[in-house]
Structure 1
Amino acid sequence: MFFRNLTLFRFSPAVADDLSRLDEALAEHRLRPCGPMESFSRGFVPPVGRGEEAPLTHVVKRCVLLHPGGEDKILPAAVINDELARRIEHITEEEGRKVSGRERKKLKEDILTELLPRAFVRQSRLPVYADRANGWLVLDTSSRKSAENAVSQIREALGSFPALPLAPEEGPRVLMTDWLANGSLPAGLSLGDECELRDPATATGAIARCRRQDLDSEEVKEHLRNGKQVFQLGLVFDDRISFVLGEDLVLRKLKFLDAVLDELGDSPADAGAEMDARFALLTLELERLLAQLETWFSLPRPQDA
C-alpha cells in the first residue's frame, strides 16, 4: 500500500484534535452505489476489508488512513453523438424537415436518460492519511484537482476541515536550481537521474527534460548557465526514498528503496497485520522526509487562532 505520489496539505493542532471524531463522521458518508439516473456518487470506502461493517478509517499511532472514493457512469461522448446523429437523420428523412437547436438539445437529453441506467460504472478511491502529530494531510496523487476534491469530501463529512495548501517561505524553484547548479544539497539528499529545466522568462520558453542522465554533467550545467531554472528535480533521500520534486512541492514517482523494503521482512499471514506493518513503515519514513521538507522550504504549520 505504499504511496506513489504525494500532494500535501497542512492543518493546525486544533484541527488534529477534531480528527478524533473522523470515524464517526465518515459513517454518514459511506460510498453508496450510483442510482439508475445518477451519473456519479461520492463517499468513503474502507481502507481495509469490504462490506457495510468494515471501518472507514485505519489508525496506526497518530496517523489515520482513509479512502475517499467514488463511482462514475461511463458514457463516451462519441456514443451519445452517434445516437444523436442517427435520430436527427431519421427525423430529416421521415418528416422532411430540419431539427432545430432546441429539439436537438431535447433529443440529447432523452438519449442520456435512456443510456444512463445501462452505462458501465467506474469505481475509484484515493488513499489519504492524516498525520495528527505533525499536521500533515498526505494524498496519493499528483493531481491538484483530485486532491482538492478529496479534501472537499473530508470537509463535507466533518462540517469543517481547514487544511491549507503548502505556503513555502523559500522559493522551491530558486532553491532547487541552486542545489543543481552548485551542488549545495542539504545533508542526506542526493541527486537522482532526471530533471525538467525551463526558461522562466516567458510562458512559452524553452524546456529541457533529462531522464536517466547524470545531473552533474556539463550538458545540464550549460542549460543552467543559459538561464534555465529547475521546475522538477529527481532526488534521493538518505538512500531510502527516491522521488521527483516539483516546483509546486508535489512529490512524484515516489519509490521506497531496498533499504526500506528489507525492513518489512516476510509478509504476515494476516492481511490486517500486513496492512499495519506497511502503513507503519510508510508513515515513519515519510515523517522523516516531510520534516526535512518543512526545514528546506520553511513550510509553517498553521496555528490555532
Structure 2
Amino acid sequence: MWFKNLKIFTLTSPLSLDDDTFEQQLSEQIFRPCGNQDIASAGWVSPITGGASLFHAGDGRYLLSLKKQERVLPAAVVNAELEERVQKIEADTGAPVSKKAKQDLKQEITQEFLPKAFTRDSYTFGFISPKDNLVIVDSSSDGKVEAFLATLRKCLGSLPVVPLARRSLSADLTLWLSQDQTPADIELLEEAEFKSPDEDGAVIRCKNQPLDTDEIRLHLDAGKLVQKLAIEWDETLSAIVQEDLAIKRLKFTDVIKDQNDDIPKDEQAARLDADFCLMSAEVIRFVQALDKAFELSED
C-alpha cells in the first residue's frame, strides 16, 4: 500500500468520523458490477483484498478504495457494424440513410453489443486524516480524483475540501533553482520542466541533466519558469513536484519500506495495516513540509 501520486486537499472545517456510521454511509455507494446496459459503474470496495469493511483505519487515518468497472466496446467495432447495416438499408430502400437515422442506429447497436462487451476494472485509493484536516488521493488523473471526492461527498452529505495549493507555485520552484533557496531537507534531482510565460508558451524538458549548469541558467535568464521539479525529501522519498502541487512518480526509499520487513508476507492484513500506517504518516510529514516551505497555510 504505497501511493505513487498525491493530489492534496485540505478540509476547511473539521471532519469527525464514527466508524459504524462511516461504514453505513459508504455502503450507500458500495460497488455493484455493470448491468447489461451499463457502460460504467463505480463504488466503494474494501481496500483490503477479501476484507469485510469498506475502509481501513490506522492511526486515526481512513484508507478507501473506489472501484470503477467499464465495459470495453471499441468504437471501431460499433462503426463497422453501423457501416454494414447502413449499406444494407440503402441497398434495400434505394435511399440514403439520414444523419439522425445513423445516430439512432448507432445507439441501437451500442445497446445491443453492451451485454457482450468485456469489462475492465480500475481502482482509486485515497485516505482521510481528520486530525490533520487532509484528504489525499493517489491518482494523477483529475477525473479520477474528482470521482473519488464526489462519491465520498455523496456518502457524507458534504465534503468541505479545497486544494492545499490555491495558487501556482511556479515562481517558488523557480526561486528554489535560480536562487538556491531550496529548503534544507529537500535535494534537487536531475529532472525539470520549464515554460516560457510568453504567448508562445515554449516548454523545455530535461532529464538526467544537472540543474546547476550554464545551459539551465540560460533558460532561467530567458525568463522561463519551473513547472515541474524532481526532488528528494529527507532521505525518505523522491517525487516530481508540479506547480499546482500535484505530486507524481512518488517513490519511497528502502530505508522506509524495509521497516516492515519483519512482518511475514502471508500475514497480508497485518502487512497492509503496517504499510498504510507507515506510508500515510510519511506522506503527512511530507505534505506538512511542503505546506511550510511554500507558506500555503498563510495564503
Aligned ranges 1:134-153 → 2 under 5 Å: 134-153=132-151
- Corresponding residue number in structure 1 for 2:242: 246
- Corresponding residue number in structure 1 for 2:153: 155
Q: Per-residue deviation at 1:301? A: 9.3
1:177 paired with 2:160, answer no
- Corresponding residue number in structure 2 for 1:33: 33
- Corresponding residue number in structure 1 for 2:221: 225
Deviation string 1:262-288 (CA, Å, 9 cap, x unpaired) is: 322234231110001110110111121
Aligned ranges 1:85-104 → 2 under 5 Å: 85-104=83-102
Unaligned ranges ≥5, structure 1: none
Contact 1:45 1:56 in 2 (8 A): yes
- Corresponding residue number in structure 2 for 1:256: 252
- Corresponding residue number in structure 2 for 1:201: 198
In the alignment, the residues of structure 2 paired with residue 239 and residue 213 of structure 1 have an alpha-carbon distance, to the nearest angstrom, of 21
Aligned ranges 1:1-305 → 2 under 5 Å: 1-14=1-14, 16-18=15-17, 20=19, 21-50=21-50, 54-168=52-166, 171-202=168-199, 204-268=200-264, 269-300=266-297
CA 1:173/1:301 → structure 2, altered by over 3 Å: closer, same or farther? closer
Contact 2:165 2:245 in 1 (8 A): no
Code of the aligned partner of 2:101: E
Q: Per-residue deviation at 1:116? A: 0.8
Partner SS state of residue 128, structure 1: strand
Contact 1:168 1:300 in 2 (8 A): no
- Under a length normalisation based on structure 2, what TM-score does the superposition of the two structures give? 0.94
Partner SS state of residue 157, structure 1: helix
Contact 2:13 2:160 in 1 (8 A): no
In the alignment, the residues of structure 2 paired with residue 17 and residue 230 of structure 1 have an alpha-carbon distance, to the nearest angstrom, of 38
Contact 1:135 1:301 in 2 (8 A): no
Code of the aligned partner of 1:101: K
Partner SS state of residue 69, structure 1: strand
Partner SS state of residue 196, structure 1: strand
Structural RMSD (CA): 1.7
In the alignment, the residues of structure 2 paired with residue 267 and residue 91 of structure 1 have an alpha-carbon distance, to the nearest angstrom, of 66
Q: Per-residue deviation at 1:292? A: 0.7
Q: Report percent identity of matched pairs.
A: 34
Between 139-148 and 2-11, report the one with greater CA deviation. 139-148
Partner SS state of residue 50, structure 1: coil
Q: Following TM superposition, where does structure 1 have runs of at least 4 consecutive aligned residues deviating by more than 6 angstroms?
A: none
Q: Per-residue deviation at 1:234? A: 0.5
Q: Per-residue deviation at 1:239? A: 1.5
Contact 1:168 1:297 in 2 (8 A): no
Partner SS state of residue 29, structure 1: coil
Q: Per-residue deviation at 1:13? A: 4.8
In the alignment, the residues of structure 2 paired with residue 263 and residue 220 of structure 1 have an alpha-carbon distance, to the nearest angstrom, of 38
Partner SS state of residue 17, structure 1: coil
Contact 1:168 1:298 in 2 (8 A): no
